[in-house]
A = this chain, B = another copy of it.
Amino acid sequence: MQMIININGQILPPEKASIPVLDRGFLYGDSIYEVTLTYDKKPFLMKEHLDRLWSSASKIEMHLKYSREDIIREVQKTIDHFGIPRAYIRIIITRGEGEIGLDPNLSDDNNLVIIVKELPENPTWWYEKGVHMIIADLRRLPKKVLDPNLKSGNYLSNVMAHHQAKKVGAFDAILLNMRGYVTEGTTNNIWMVRKDRVITPPLEAGLLEGITRSTLLTIGKKHGIEMVEDNFTADELKSAQEAFLTSSTREIVPITKIDDELIGQGVPGPMYLKLHQIYRDFVRNSLRN
């Protein structure tokens, strides 16, 4: 797997890319991040990802010494240096290093890390057969503890939920909120089709506002499809006509089984096929502009 890492402007091979032990990202997960991909060496929907990065920074009152232009320039520099057309991009900003202590004022000089690595085409079976998800035992973080619509370095609950899925050979786990409603997968948003309406949980359910989620809500509506944000339970999801997930690097992936239950006929459904075609057309048009 080819990879390069840009640390504060310096491009390094992964084995030489390190950050100080005293960095608050390492000590406390006091960091924010974004993940996108390139289509043909162009980072996709950078404006939207930078908007969300700034929103994450604001939620934890993290001062950013960089401008949006600084980050765009460093990302492009890293992609150009990498040279491979299809790449995964992870942008991490930490509150930097300083004296050990929770007080964020002990440090206020960010570290910026940009990881660019080869992104092989996703397996075709994901799209042709659909994937198996489980309902996680762990629940999604409530907003009273830490805003779930914040992409931070605190990811251990999601790590453990994903681990539970992997142990039974599933693709990923779906997290419910404390009230029992579906929120999201560990790194993706969840959708279901019921009576030909396409439904995804609302932000108030406690989830990360996925950029592919927002995009799909908008472009689906433009194509006359009824796209709705509404709460649903795990049982309602399991008895849906269709289900699928969205993420930047995976686009739209049909979910054909949840726990032990097949979704619909257990094969990718017509609404999934229609929406993924619409999404691919959107990507193609975005790249052309």
Contact = CB atoms under 8 A, between A and B. Distances in A.
Nearest to A106: B166
A21 B14 contact: yes
A210 to B, nearest CB: 16
A56 to B, nearest CB: 11
A145 B104 CA distance: 24
A260 B163 CA distance: 45
A156 B30 contact: yes
Contact of A117 (B27, B30, B100): B100
Q: Is chain A's interface secondary structure helix, strand, loop, or mixed overall?
A: mixed
Nearest to A105: B166
Contact of A60 (B19, B105, B153, B156): B156
A168 interface: no
Nearest to A153: B29
A7 interface: yes
A19 B26 contact: yes
Interface in A147-173: 152-160, 162-163, 166
Contacts of A21: 5, 7, 14, 17-19, 92, 113, 115
A186 interface: yes
A178 B18 contact: no
